[in-house]
Amino acid sequence: MDSNLISLIDNLSMLTNLYDVVRIVDPLIKKTIYYDKSKGKVEISNNNCYDFWKSSEYCPNCISIRAYNENDTFVKIEYNKEKIYMLMASPITIGDKKYIFEMFKDITDTGIIENIYNKTVAEIQYFIKEMNDKIIKDELTGIYNKRFIYERLPIEILKSKSLKFPLSIIMTDIDFFKSVNDNYGHLAGDFILFEFASLIKSSIRKDNDWVARYGGEEFIIVLVNTDNNTAFKISEKIRKAVEEKVFEFDDNKIQITSSFGIYTLDENNFNLDIKAIIKYADEKLYEAKRTGRNKSIK
């Protein structure tokens, strides 16, 4: 495998006329791959791939993870406090190992942000964030979307495995949500989805945990460094808050319940991938709904 990778790295220079930066990244460990001629072998850089962006943590909208998971090419715009870049990430498999080609093009002077040199760093960062948020945020609820789940969750899994702390996944949805739409209309249904998402978001830790809309009335909550029993307590706290809340829409008072399925990744099952983890959490949710709804199953 090394000989093929060495050849690939040596030939990257062919792309430098088209792009300002060309590199190969292993998105699972967040490192760049290079060929050390003095040692005659491929090495993993000591630097993190996100260091280029002058960031101390991984990108929340990492398209390289997305390219890795979906085996497709993706593009985004990013800013490193000096220049604006268009970033393209494309998967490549060598032997039995998948890597990501990252190609950066400086687009600072292309007019994508008018009068960039008259704008503050904060203004530019806000503009870039707004553009990229449209890719990973759910338009209706304002929380993360399904795309973000498949970008971020593999990173959380890797981090938990490396640091040996538990990671809990909660799958939840609104019981009999169709009846809300049928009885009060689809605008009311949209309102309930927004309020349900907001309630969940306010019930978890802002800096560590996150929630995303998986689809329809189904959501995924990710609790970092949280064991199964603690995740169950958090789930029950949210469930009871939902049950007790009276949602007011127009002249209607609407009450709902919700069901939760909890699955925890720890030292016993760190080998599971993202699809398996979501599947197991979904099975717990199905059990909660099958056995009466308005409950948490761990």
**Element holding 284 (H helix, E strand):** helix 274-290
Q: Please give the full DSSP string across 106-157, using - where no structure is assigned.
A: E-GGGTSSTTGGGS-HHHHHHHHHHHHHHHHB-TTTSSB-HHHHHHHHHHHH
Two structure tokens written together for 26: 């292993």
CB atoms within 10 A of CB 191: 20
Helices (H), 164-267: 177-184, 186-203, 228-244
Known catalytic residue at 248: no
Q: Which residues contact 261 (CB under 8 A, 6 or more apart)?
A: 170, 171, 172, 281, 282, 283, 284, 285, 286, 287, 288, 296, 297
From edge to edge, which strands make up the β-sheet containing 31-36? Answer: 41-48, 31-36, 21-26, 97-106, 84-94, 74-79
Given the residues 217, 218, 236, 287, select the one marked as catalytic: 217
Q: Which long-range contacts (CB under 8 A, 24 or more apart) does 275-278 make?
A: 277/153, 277/157, 277/169, 278/149, 278/153, 278/169, 278/171, 278/220
Active site residues: 217
